[in-house]
Amino acid sequence: MGLEARRLTKSYAGAPVLQDVDLDVAAGSVAAVVGPSGCGKTTLLRCIAGFETPEAGQVRIDGRDVAGSAWVPAHRRRVGYVAQDGALFPHLTVGQNVGFGLPRRERSAARIGELLEGVALDADMARRRPDQLSGGQQQRVSLARALALRPRVMLLDEPFSALDTGLRARTREIVGDVLRGAGITTVLVTHDQEEALSFADQVAVMARGGFRQVGSPTDVYLHPADLETARFTGETVELRATAADGRVETPFGAAAVDTDLTGPVRMVLRPEQVEVRAADDAPDNADAAVVEQVDFRGDHVRVRVGLPGETEPLVLRAATVAGLRVGDRVRLRISGEANVFPDRD
């Protein structure tokens, strides 16, 4: 049955933070709520956990009302919560942190060692203090502590944001494997689009206290509901164009679009949908784009190109091995379907 939230509403000092928010997370699946700071993500988690009381709406966990027609206090909801900083007790050892909240009879070295090994940490780390661990290890200890109470729902409040890039990806992978392996219904809140798309089975894009779009990571990324969602869920390549009969015309060719819009539109592509290739591949390069800037990014380069007859350049990606240089003439080719939205600018 999983987690259900219906029409959750919450305000602080008269200012609305959540406005009629609905969220369904299937049992054992992972949902990510992504949005800018201040949009209501953490307040949503706190209402689910029981740390905040919603002014209206309902929360159900595995079919049981915990907020709304009934009220169940936080410590009786069997909800785990991992915060951004881990919130470990600095004066306790790792083992004491993991065992905190367990009944005394369950607070054995074997049980704590089992929990640590379950999050890919050595059992002998139980004797260390939190300040003797890396950031990623501290977050896994926080997860082990939350798992100790056998939660039905796990809430993750930007738990990877303080970690460096490589450590963040590895920790995220470990945490995801642990939670899916245990079949725990999970909600992650984050402002990191890549994190949301790679970690979750379902992504909910939040803005100004409500959801703009909820769907699979692929659907949200490739078929955003509006321009704001498109810009927030990844890099965009945007062009003003004219739509008619399911197609748009661009300075470098036509593209198919799934829309009934006609007239002036803003066409939106993802950078990987635009192939950059040398203009020499074609016999006539009079209408080729010109490379204005190349920024090396390791596995790819960001290329700014000027288009014939256009005042605004495009910023695209190209393979590092392409060897593009400023002044090179290139051709652009669109792959896949474009998204178009009304051009209101």
Total-model pTM: 0.88
Predicted pLDDT of residue 343: 80
pLDDT tens digit sequence for 78-105: 999 998 877 899 999 999 999 998 888 8
Predicted pLDDT of residue 87: 83
Average pLDDT over residues 131-135: 91
For 245, residues 6+ apart whose C-beta sits below 8 A from its C-beta are: none
In CATH terms, the fold of domain 3-229 is Rossmann fold (3.40.50)
Q: What's the chain's Rg over C-alpha atoms?
A: 24
The beta-strand segments (E) located in the chain are 3-12, 15-25, 30-34, 56-61, 64-67, 79-82, 153-157, 185-190, 202-207, 210-215, 237-244, 247-250, 253-256, 263-269, 274-278, 289-296, 300-306, 314-319, 329-334, 339-342
Judging by beta carbons within 10 Å of its beta carbon (0-12, 13-18, 19+), is residue 167 exposed, middle or buried?
Answer: middle
**Banded pLDDT at 284 (limits 50, 70, 90):** low
pLDDT tens digit sequence for 240-281: 888 888 788 777 777 777 778 888 888 899 988 888 887 765
Domain range list for the chain: 3-229, 235-342
DSSP SS3 for 221: helix
Predicted pLDDT of residue 213: 97
Following DSSP, what letter does each residue of 44-110 receive, concatenated? HHHHHHTSS--SEEEEEETTEEEESSS---GGGS-EEEE-TT----TTS-HHHHHHTTS-GGG--HH
Predicted pLDDT of residue 281: 54
Percent of the chain with pLDDT over 70: 97
How far is 284 from 171, CA to CA, in rounded Å?
A: 51
Question: Letter for the amino acid at 115?
Answer: L
pLDDT tens digit sequence for 159-206: 888 788 778 888 889 889 999 999 999 999 999 999 999 999 999 999
**Contact between residue 18 and residue 33 where contact means Cβ atoms under 8 Å apart:** no
The larger pLDDT score, comparing residue 128 to residue 264, is at 128
**Contact between residue 114 and residue 121 where contact means Cβ atoms under 8 Å apart:** no
Mean pLDDT of the chain: 89
Predicted pLDDT of residue 283: 47
The pLDDT of residue 282 is above 60: no
Average pLDDT over residues 308-323: 82
